[in-house]
């Protein structure tokens, strides 16, 4: 593990402002969006402080291209919206201002300050006129107490996410040894890890995400507190976990993120049943890993990805096992698939929201796995025209990639796609159906009365 300054250092030692002049860092204004520069410049000329902060500064210092630009200021959200016509306040737990420039949105946050975390009053622990609120267990329900730049720095999650760039003086401000951790390639939580995870357990998922995204090590104490605090993730609302799921698995480094989540046993707070299945079943694990790897590859190639596909893969081990159990009990395969899908999604949404626009395609992808077994008849040829065919076919290939023997089904559907409509019809009339259908004993209908 990479050596890093201990994070549980006393607060006074934690905050030591280090100002890095323009000739000692690599950030150039030309790599910052015009929108972000405009927002900072107008805030400054109106007498406020304004800095680029968070992922943008971190990624620019690492020589990368930030995906968005966040700005921190001492102007209140209302003051910011007064300055920009194209802006609005969003959020409740954490109020921020979105300033829009065409398709680009610049996020402007007002410096966060300290609040009374020592209060033992549980839900009563409100300060600053209902601006900050903690649950009995210490979870921050609202965090809208405003403060100074210095206070804002220590309220952030990771040291490498708490670097500020002043586009007026071109200096970088570092209060929490962020630059040192960036050089050491270390993800390190700011302050006492247990306290910071208790305030917001999602920070544990963010540690996983940034360790994966940046390919950084996790500082020892930052890592050591995770097993002690992991259970707190059970308190996070399902909707927030879904937002976090998108960032974890649809940002181009899902495979590595999965490895981290498995190493720290955090996947079970997002998908408990999946986590159980893949612990016991190497093929189920291989399928989920393959789904993550393929998603990363598609993102790297600029191809579109949908949460439905990755969710379908994550829940497939659960669905497949349940479907097999029902078939064993005598249910017809498609009915069993339907029931298994219903129950897997029903269980999953107790932990993580799955909007209907994703759960519906997931069911279709799963049900298609049975329909793709059919290689004969006009209906088989017509499957290719179905809007869900492509995803279902990719899913079939994924199952094969994970080591499942489907009897060459993937190859068959690959070949048939290159044929003309007539050739397809010929192929399905000569193919033999490889489904093992349960034999039905037909009861003859009595002849209708004359």
Catalytic residues, by residue number, are 68, 70, 157
Interacting residues with ligand ATP between 197 and 216 (CB under 6 A): 200, 202-203
Stretch that binds Mg ion, among 60-68, 145-153, 318-326, 379-387 (CB under 5 A): 60-68
Does 156 bind ligand ATP (CB under 6 A)? Our answer is yes
CA–CA separation, 55 and 68 (whole Å): 8
Structure tokens at 213: 């995204």
From the centroid of its chain, how far is CA 218?
19
CA–CA separation, 154 and 200 (whole Å): 14
Taking residue 105's Cβ as centre, other Cβ atoms within 10 Å add up to 16
CA–CA separation, 319 and 212 (whole Å): 28
CB closer to ligand ATP out of 156 and 338: 156
Does 138 bind Mg ion (CB under 5 A)? Our answer is no
CB of residue 147 to ligand ATP, shortest distance in Å: 13
Site string for Mg ion, 267-306 (x = CB under 5 A): ----------------------------------------
CB of residue 5 to Mg ion, shortest distance in Å: 25
Does 152 bind ligand ATP (CB under 6 A)? Our answer is no
Does 60 bind ligand ATP (CB under 6 A)? Our answer is no
Q: Which of 7, 25, 55, 260 binds Mg ion (CB under 5 A)?
A: 55
Stretch that binds Mg ion, among 55-63, 94-102, 253-261, 401-409 (CB under 5 A): 55-63
CA–CA separation, 421 and 428 (whole Å): 11
CB of residue 129 to Mg ion, shortest distance in Å: 29
Contact yes or no for 307/251 (Cβ under 8 A): no
CA–CA separation, 406 and 436 (whole Å): 12
CA–CA separation, 248 and 255 (whole Å): 10
Does 70 bind ligand ATP (CB under 6 A)? Our answer is yes
Does 55 bind ligand ATP (CB under 6 A)? Our answer is yes
Structure tokens at 132: 């900050």
**Backbone conformation region of residue 396, classed left if phi is above 0, alpha if psi is from -120 to 50, else beta:** alpha
Q: Which residues bind ligand ATP (CB under 6 A)?
A: 54-55, 67-68, 70, 156-157, 161-162, 200, 202-203
């Amino acid at each position: 593990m990479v050596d890093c300054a201990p994070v549980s250092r006393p607060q006074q030692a934690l905050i030591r402002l280090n100002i890095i002049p323009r000739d000692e860092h690599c950030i150039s204004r030309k790599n910052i969006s015009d929108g972000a520069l405009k927002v900072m410049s107008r805030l400054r000329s109106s007498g406020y402080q304004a800095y680029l902060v968070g992922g943008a500064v971190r990624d620019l210092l690492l020589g990368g291209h930030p995906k968005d630009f966040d700005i921190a200021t001492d102007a209140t959200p209302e003051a910011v919206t007064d300055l920009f016509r194209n802006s609005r306040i969003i959020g409740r737990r954490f109020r921020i201002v979105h300033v829009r420039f065409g398709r680009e949105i610049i996020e402007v946050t007002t410096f966060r300050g300290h609040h009374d975390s020592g209060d033992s009053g549980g839900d009563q622990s409100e300060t600053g006129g209902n601006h900050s609120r903690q649950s009995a267990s210490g979870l921050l329900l609202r965090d809208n107490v405003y403060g100074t730049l210095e206070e804002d720095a220590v309220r952030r999650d990771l040291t490498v996410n708490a670097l500020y760039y002043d586009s007026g003086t071109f200096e970088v401000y570092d209060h929490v040894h962020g630059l040192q951790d960036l050089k050491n390639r270390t993800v390190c939580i700011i302050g006492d890890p247990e306290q910071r995870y208790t305030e917001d357990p999602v920070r544990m998922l963010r540690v996983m995400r940034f360790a994966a995204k940046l390919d950084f090590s996790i500082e020892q104490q930052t890592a050591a507190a995770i097993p002690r605090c992991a259970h707190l993730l059970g308190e996070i609302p399902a909707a927030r976990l879904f937002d976090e799921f998108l960032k974890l698995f649809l940002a181009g480094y899902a495979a590595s993120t999965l490895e981290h989540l498995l190493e720290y046993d955090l996947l079970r707070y997002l998908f408990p049943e999946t986590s159980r299945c893949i612990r016991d079943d190497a093929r189920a694990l291989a399928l989920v890993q393959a789904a993550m790897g393929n998603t990363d590859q598609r993102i790297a190639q600029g191809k579109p990805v949908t949460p439905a596909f990755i969710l379908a893969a994550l829940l497939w081990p659960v669905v497949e096992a349940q479907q097999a159990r029902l078939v064993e009990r005598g249910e017809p395969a498609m009915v069993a698939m339907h029931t298994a899908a219903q129950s897997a999604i029903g269980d999953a949404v107790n932990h993580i929201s799955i909007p209907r626009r994703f759960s519906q395609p997931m069911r279709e992808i799963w049900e298609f796995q049975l329909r793709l077994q059919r290689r004969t008849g006009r209906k088989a040829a017509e499957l290719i025209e179905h809007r869900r065919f492509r995803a279902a076919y990719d899913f079939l290939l994924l199952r094969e990639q994970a080591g499942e023997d489907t009897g060459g089904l993937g190859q068959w559907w690959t070949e048939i796609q290159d044929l003309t409509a007539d050739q397809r019809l010929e192929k399905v009339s000569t193919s033999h159906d490889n489904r093992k259908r349960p034999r039905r004993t037909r009861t003859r209908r009595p002849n209708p009365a004359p």
